[in-house]
Structure 1
């Protein structure tokens, strides 16, 4: 009996648009982000999703609500599915972070497991909470199709953890807004990556691409 995880990143947010580090700041979706969520919802309506779980931050939760409305389901908030806390970097652009914290930012871009951001989380801490709560949900919903709506860093850490891939590979993976990822969890606990960073649903609207 296979449990299928549909894992989606939220739609474009105001700070995505301005290239600001968001972390745990609660930022709204842009009109484009709302449209992206609608297109993802339309794509998922034939996937027989049984339950939806989401980060409690607005950009993810509103994305999940739009999907849930299309599917006739409720969204269960999981605070542990929040984005990584980036501490003192939050609210700054990548250019500002590079200027103010060049050494640690370079480490984050090249070897993020070793990066300790002041007042933030480590990548390992993010992975532990994401994997722990995902496996708990899988245990409670064996054989079902589960949708998780979360954030870029958290999702990448989760997928690497589920597949047993070392976190040092984190910089080599990219996740776009409302990208869809699918991981199958077999009855024996083994995992298979079925889909990664797929955004074909956005091609239905040329203005989104």
Structure 2
């Protein structure tokens, strides 16, 4: 039986994460805290037999991937399909600012994310489509290998729901913390989610 293992991992923390600012397609670097999380992630992942590492083309994901790749001695390849959802006019604003300036759109995003239209931004379904397209291509290319992909919170949640054939309306039922690991095994019978939002490697950093 064929078995391809995919480690789908969220990037480390940024200053905008800490301030609850919408990042989306903005290119924000990791914070010191985020780099420490990435080092703890690297320390854990060096125990796994990873064959290939891919990352979103945004710096916070790429830097996390590079830190993780170093002890494994592997290169990191960027794939645009794994970048974060574009939040258009919301990017750079805090959740509170978005709520006060775009109340109508924001309440739809919070209650019916699959129907939300963010001014100048992407739709959730489009993020899911490009993410799944990129993912299936990798799984097809690397049969029976172990792949790590570093991506973003919204993109990963959309991908995971797609893999499980669960409607995007359930978007808020999944949580993705910084540097969390989601392990998905692709078998002859389809994808199986083994672990979800595993952050045991950064427990020591939690207050």
Range class of TM-score, shorter chain: over 0.9
- Kindly tell me the number of residue pairs found equivalent between the two proteins: 206
Q: What pairs up with 1:1-209 in 2 under 5 angstroms?
A: 1-188=2-189, 190-203=190-203, 205=204, 207-209=205-207
Task: Compute the TM-score of the two structures, normalised by the length of structure 1.
Answer: 0.97
| Aligned CA-pair RMSD | 0.9
Matches of 1:136 and 1:156, distance apart in 2: 18
Matches of 1:79 and 1:3, distance apart in 2: 22
Please say if residues 48 and 145 of structure 1, whose CA atoms lie closer than 8 Å, have aligned partners that are also in contact. Answer: yes
Please say if residues 32 and 208 of structure 1, whose CA atoms lie closer than 8 Å, have aligned partners that are also in contact. Answer: no
Matches of 2:206 and 2:149, distance apart in 1: 22
User: Structure 1 runs of 4+ off > 3 angstroms?
Assistant: none
Q: CA deviation at 1:208?
A: 4.4
Please list every run of 5 or more consecutive structure 2 residues that lacks an aligned counterpart in the other structure. none
Q: CA deviation at 1:4?
A: 0.8
Q: CA deviation at 1:171?
A: 1.1
Q: CA deviation digits over 1:176-205, x for unaligned, max 9?
A: 0000101111124x11110000100002x3
* Matched position secondary structure for 1:23: coil
Matches of 2:172 and 2:161, distance apart in 1: 11
Task: Compute the TM-score of the two structures, normalised by the length of structure 2.
Answer: 0.97
* Matched position secondary structure for 2:33: helix
